Amino acid sequence: MSNDTGVERTLVLFKPDAVARGLTGRILARFEDNLLKVVAAKMVWMDADLTRRHYFDLEERFGAEVYNLMAEFMQSGPVIAIVLEGVEAVACVRKMVGSTYPDQAPPGTIRGDFAHMSKAYANAHGIAVANLVHASGSPDEAEHEIGVWFTKEDLHDYPTVAQQYLR
């Protein structure tokens, strides 16, 4: 969802490392503190089909090895999928999350504060980069990804107290 008011929806996945470390509440609070509204949420174990639908172009862009490592990681534990709504939500969430590689994410970002893995370490050990969250990269990507994870009936529209500031 994007409209002329700048309000967008974006997908965030709390990856298995975030769930296992008990960080989901702390991370979610950061999004809500920034006036992002949760409009859908669910916890799932990703299977091969859902992994392929979500990461449909990963293998083409980065090769089978990267795809397989990511698939193994994402299927290693439960994932919490949420849809956030807010002003320029995609860019806001990406800024809050920080660099894909946690060792390059500045302090104050989610990855900079809670993760520590580098690309070099992951490559040397043949593992995926444990970086806590996935965040849609663009409004078009967000629309596609939300459709993979949620139906229209799963998405909720409701007023929040903070919306009085979004006129």
Domains annotated for the chain, with CATH where assigned, are: 7-165 (3.30.70.141)
**Alpha carbon of residue 10 to chain centroid:** 8
Active site residues: 134
Q: Are 28 and 43 in contact (CB under 8 A)?
A: no
Whole-number average pLDDT of the chain: 92
Would the pLDDT of 56 be above 90?
no
Higher pLDDT, 83 or 122: 83
Q: Work out the pLDDT band at 55, boundaries 50, 70, 90.
A: confident
Would the pLDDT of 4 be above 80?
no
**Which pLDDT belongs to residue 135?**
97
Would the pLDDT of 164 be above 60?
yes
Query: Model's pTM, two decimal places?
Result: 0.92
Would the pLDDT of 141 be above 90?
yes
Averaged pLDDT, 14-24 = 97
With a CB cutoff of 8 Å and minimum separation 6, the contacts of 39 are 9, 83, 84, 85, 155, 156, 157, 158
Q: Measured between alpha carbons, how far is 61 from 59 in angstroms, rounded to an integer?
A: 5
Strands in the chain per DSSP E: 7-14, 37-44, 79-87, 133-135
Would the pLDDT of 166 be above 80?
no
Averaged pLDDT, 111-131 = 92
CA triple 134-140-145, angle to 5 deg: 45
- Dihedral through CA 93, CA 135, CA 63, CA 46, nearest 10? 170
Would the pLDDT of 123 be above 60?
yes
Q: Using CA of residue 143, residue 53, residue 67, residue 60, what is the dihedral sign?
A: negative
DSSP lists the bridge partners of residue 44 as: 79
pLDDT in tens, 85-102: 999 999 999 999 999 999
Terminal Cα distance for the chain, rounded: 17
